[in-house]
Structure 1
Amino acid sequence: MDKSFLKSSSIVTAMTFLSRILGLVRDYFIARYFGANGFTDAFLVAFRIPNFLRRLFGEGAFSQAFVPILAEVRANHDEAEVQNVINHIGTKFLTVLIIITVITVVIAPLVIFMFAWGFYFDADSTKFDLASNMLRITFPYLLLISLTAFAGSILNTYDKFAVPAFTPVLLNVSMILSAVYLSQHLETPIMALAWGVLIGGIVQLLFQIPFLIKIKKLPRLARGDHPSVKTLKKRMLPALFGVSVSQINLLIDTMIATVLVSGSVSWLYYSDRLLELPLALIGIALATVALAKLSKHFSNKDEKKFTRTINYALKIGLLLGAPACAGLVLLAEPLIITLFQYDKFDAFAAHMSALSLIAYGSGLLAFIVVKILAPVFLSRGDTRTPVKVGVIAMVSNVFLNIIFAYYFAHVGLAVATSISAVINASLLYYYLKKQSIYQFSNDLIKLFLKVLLASFIMVVFILNFSNDISFYLENSVWQRITSVAITIVASAVLYFACLRLLGIRMKQL
């Protein structure tokens, strides 16, 4: 067992869990105060655009390209050169972000047309106008959160994982307070959510600065050029596809959903939010630590530790991802009803959201594997392979979207995204094996079979002993919460008990 990896990933998981729980609280208030309708569709589009680009410029492509560069410089040069690299990359990054932000704010209606053309062609222009106005408020969040991710990448390289993992909590707090209090003072209440996003971005960035000062790595403006900037460009541009395909696919889902019946964007959003909880706790937490560790091992030419890190990350991902996948699929509607069905979020919205959650949840393991395997290539400076795979997965998603959306509406979009994730994960592993970088070990395959058996037993338990949907529709919030909590805890205890009987021990992974 890699104790260092386990400790670091546990810290990230704990902080991410806190953030995601608050994220669900945030979504509870959004659902309760604003429901699932044209107004929430407009906000979610205005929020998803900078949030999507954040995954590319922030903790997505930028971080995946920047961390290996910084780790390499740190391993082979002194601290002065590390600071020099941080300064030059930070300056160029800030310049690009300012330009993109200013242009987008000016042409906000055109951007909304590009990403949500269904709003433009709607007979009622309210959604289009509202989304355009909100985008002018939410888009500067991209600048703020990307700089926050830049700071977080520096901290992660120095094994300071807790602070970057905790930072998203602040956005959730800001949005919750805006939904509850600020919305009461605005002519258009839902505009409060847009202001909450902007305020949250400011607070997140300011929060990280003291920790950068503590490790003496606060970025400063720098003139001129530096070889590291060219290396970053070379690695980052392809990585835009390679590490962010799932987010690109989700954005494509949103774009097509704007053409479907009103509420479709919101249904997909709420189901995606529940998917993101286990994905963040397992996949993103493992990927965050794995990238830093893999980059370090590759820079030190330690192939044994490099391979062991991949194997360990996949084992943990499988061990935790399999029951989470089954739970999302089997408990989709109870979870949606318990968390969101209050006031303006009705039973119909809950049912439609649950259907897409089942489709998303079925692909959870594939999403997790992609998060773990893509950084393997990037830690070695290989951005071409993830790009090839990413393009294939994205094109597949587009074609599948068109086919499935025609027959199954918003659920078809979620199905297509999950299938494209399976394609993505399969091809990433194919190229790892082909390039003799990594292949599944015998002990990983044995673990898979034991996890499969334990998961099957858990599924049988849930199907036979969990309450039916009518129970959740007819009872109070506390009865709903108690029922879901008991089912989840009992299922988890049964699952891990089965693993223990099958001989699985954490120390032996």
Structure 2
Amino acid sequence: MSKKLIKSGLIVSIMTLVSRVLGLIRDVVIASVMGTGIMADVFLFANKIPNFFRRLFAEGAFAQAFVPVLSEYQVKDEHQGDQQGSVQHNQQQTRLLIAQVSGTLGVIITGVTLFGMLASPLFVILFGFGWFVDWFNDAPGGEKFTLASNLLSITFPYLWFITFAALSGAILNTLGRFAVAAFTPVLLNIAIIIMAIYGAPYTPSPAHALAWGVFLGGLIQFLFQIPFLYKAGMLVKPKWAWHSEGVTKIRKLIVPALFGVSVTQINLLLDTLIASFLITGSISWLYYADRLLEFPLGLFGIGIATVVLPSLSKLHSKNNPAEFSSTLDWGIRVISLFGWPALAGLMVLAQPIIMVLFMRGEFSQHDVMQVSMALFAYLSGLLSFMFIKILAPGYYARQDTKTPVKIGITAMVANMVFNLMLAPFLGYVGLALATTLSATLNAWLLYRGLKAQGVYQLSTKTMLFIAKLMISAAVMAGVVYQLSSDFEVWLQMSFVEQVQQLSLCIALGVASYLLMITVLGVRLNDFTVNKD
């Protein structure tokens, strides 16, 4: 099992790395074209709303409810197929569930998408109320409301496309074909980059070109996965089946999961609402800081979580609690291996990295400083964000969505309190810090719940392992700090010199980390899943 998990995790991480690199290139292009001004704030807002709903209807709550049920059907049908000597029987049962789920989801998501396109001003009022107030009072900045409504009507159809792309990806993942779904986001980044570079002359503004890039990216992602579904024998004709057994089971699981798995996204939308009252640039500064945070989080946290959920679901269906707990422990060890050095490295090299990636065109030295402060706040919760990605599947795989939603409510209320406490004094940095604090609370409550239910407890081996990683990351941070120059010196370097110096710091930092964990006794057998 551990070899299969490691192989699957590597496949997903490699594909995710390609996607994240292109995502950074996309953000470099956006920063160069629009900087952190009005158009940047509005486009990032218009892109965030459909992405929030994507978390609900696509790979977020829906996937957390759908994957365990699909895995359960597959395990039962495999057993029945073995008894009858018929693999085709198994495929028919699974195909029926997929047809019922895709048809029912299709009707719902079509209605939501059409409503979102027609009622885009209402969403701007709800999540960008500060812009609406300026528009209503004919005050400076009121043009943000009009532009946001226009762009949101263009980006909202992305929700329809990505929902079915995520459904296809979930199906392929349960079949052990992780590469396709992991590669799919690359296509979105390519579409946005092409539209940003070549589409701007043919649209009213660069922001409009980027919005159409989101639309086209969603369409391409949706079409890309169809041949792979067909090859797997899972391309079926959708049918409405609201009251079918499988759909009913998923509905009962998804209602609480809609909130529980999307707490982070709701928190980010609350941040956006409050940021709409802050100075221009606040939304953009938070966005670029979040993008840098998402690089290690997506590469390692989400990559490992992607392969952990189907594995846990099958182990639960097979009634194997020992390996279930051991698989969770394995996930914590793997993300810790990469999370701690990512945290240390980004903390020390935050400003040089932001400078090399974004400081050109409309993105200024002032923006580098502003983004770095938000990034410091986000980074303090990097491991918490990663742990959530591993611990939450410990509930969903057992079809327990009620406990995470209770924890999610607690975390969201805490985030609102932290926002009100910190934003008046720290501005947008306070919003980032509040998100970090609520995520840390979320992770701790998830772990405490699993421990109380007797499902999972950190093993002594894992706690010792994490201690070794923390020491190694601290040493790495010291090495990189000594190698890195002051901010003023970085500013005086040419771009080539900056890249060379940054590459040297990263390379020697990685080398020192690997040397330290080796000296401290970290070995390959630390990444095996104990089946006892």
Q: With structure 1 as the length reference, what TM-score do the two structures score?
A: 0.98
- Structure 2: gaps of 5 or more residues: 78-89, 528-532
Partner of 1:182: 199
Is residue 346 from structure 1 mapped to residue 364 from structure 2 by the alignment?
A: yes
Q: What is the identity, as a one-letter code, of the residue corresponding to 2:181?
A: P
Partner of 1:81: 93
Is residue 95 from structure 1 mapped to residue 111 from structure 2 by the alignment?
A: no
| Alpha-carbon distance in 1 for matches of 2:437, 2:470 | 20
Asked whether the 8 Å contact 1:326–1:362 carries over to 2, the reply is no
| Alpha-carbon distance in 2 for matches of 1:401, 1:329 | 23
Counterparts of residues 1-400 of structure 1 (less than 5 Å): 2-77=2-77, 78-122=90-134, 123-124=139-140, 125-224=142-241, 225-400=243-418
| Alpha-carbon distance in 2 for matches of 1:167, 1:448 | 33
| Alpha-carbon distance in 2 for matches of 1:273, 1:261 | 20
Asked whether the 8 Å contact 2:26–2:192 carries over to 1, the reply is yes
Once the two structures are overlaid, the 10-residue window that deviates more, 471-480 or 375-384, is 471-480
| Alpha-carbon distance in 1 for matches of 2:458, 2:208 | 49
| Alpha-carbon distance in 2 for matches of 1:471, 1:197 | 38
Q: Deviations over 1:307-349 (max 9, x none)?
A: 1211110001111101111122222111111100101011111
Asked whether the 8 Å contact 1:64–1:375 carries over to 2, the reply is yes
Partner of 1:433: 451
Q: What is the identity, as a one-letter code, of the residue corresponding to 1:392?
A: T
- Structure 1: gaps of 5 or more residues: none
Is residue 478 from structure 1 mapped to residue 505 from structure 2 by the alignment?
A: no
| Alpha-carbon distance in 1 for matches of 2:121, 2:165 | 27
Asked whether the 8 Å contact 2:104–2:240 carries over to 1, the reply is no
Q: What is the identity, as a one-letter code, of the residue corresponding to 2:156?
A: F
Identity over aligned pairs, percent: 43
Q: CA RMSD in A?
A: 1.1
Is residue 408 from structure 1 mapped to residue 426 from structure 2 by the alignment?
A: yes
| Alpha-carbon distance in 2 for matches of 1:212, 1:353 | 41
Partner of 2:530: none
| Alpha-carbon distance in 2 for matches of 1:202, 1:92 | 20
The runs of 4+ residues in structure 1 deviating greater than 3 Å are none
Query: Could you say what secondary structure the match of 1:40 adopts?
Result: helix
| Alpha-carbon distance in 1 for matches of 2:27, 2:38 | 16
Once the two structures are overlaid, the 10-residue window that deviates more, 75-84 or 86-95, is 75-84
| Alpha-carbon distance in 2 for matches of 1:152, 1:53 | 17
Q: Deviations over 1:185-235 (max 9, x none)?
A: 223232000000000000000000000000000131224441111111111
Asked whether the 8 Å contact 1:31–1:340 carries over to 2, the reply is yes
| Alpha-carbon distance in 2 for matches of 1:381, 1:504 | 34
| Alpha-carbon distance in 1 for matches of 2:348, 2:494 | 21
| Alpha-carbon distance in 2 for matches of 1:69, 1:104 | 29
Q: With structure 2 as the length reference, what TM-score do the two structures score?
A: 0.94
| Alpha-carbon distance in 2 for matches of 1:482, 1:90 | 50
Partner of 2:474: 456
Asked whether the 8 Å contact 2:33–2:206 carries over to 1, the reply is no
Q: What is the identity, as a one-letter code, of the residue corresponding to 2:109?
A: L
Once the 2 structures are TM-superposed, how far is the Cα of residue 350 of structure 1 from its aligned partner?
A: 1.3
| Alpha-carbon distance in 1 for matches of 2:14, 2:445 | 31
Asked whether the 8 Å contact 1:174–1:200 carries over to 2, the reply is yes
Once the 2 structures are TM-superposed, how far is the Cα of residue 437 of structure 1 from its aligned partner?
A: 0.4
Once the 2 structures are TM-superposed, how far is the Cα of residue 482 of structure 1 from its aligned partner?
A: 1.8
Q: What is the identity, as a one-letter code, of the residue corresponding to 1:61?
A: A
| Alpha-carbon distance in 1 for matches of 2:461, 2:391 | 18
Q: Deviations over 1:248-298 (max 9, x none)?
A: 212211111111000100000000000000000111011110001100111
Asked whether the 8 Å contact 1:242–1:374 carries over to 2, the reply is no
| Alpha-carbon distance in 2 for matches of 1:35, 1:60 | 30
Asked whether the 8 Å contact 2:165–2:225 carries over to 1, the reply is yes
Q: What is the identity, as a one-letter code, of the residue corresponding to 1:86?
A: I
Q: What is the identity, as a one-letter code, of the residue corresponding to 2:245?
A: P
Asked whether the 8 Å contact 1:22–1:169 carries over to 2, the reply is yes
| Alpha-carbon distance in 2 for matches of 1:453, 1:145 | 41
Q: Deviations over 1:140-193 (max 9, x none)?
A: 000100110000000000000000000000000000000001012223232000
| Alpha-carbon distance in 2 for matches of 1:260, 1:223 | 45
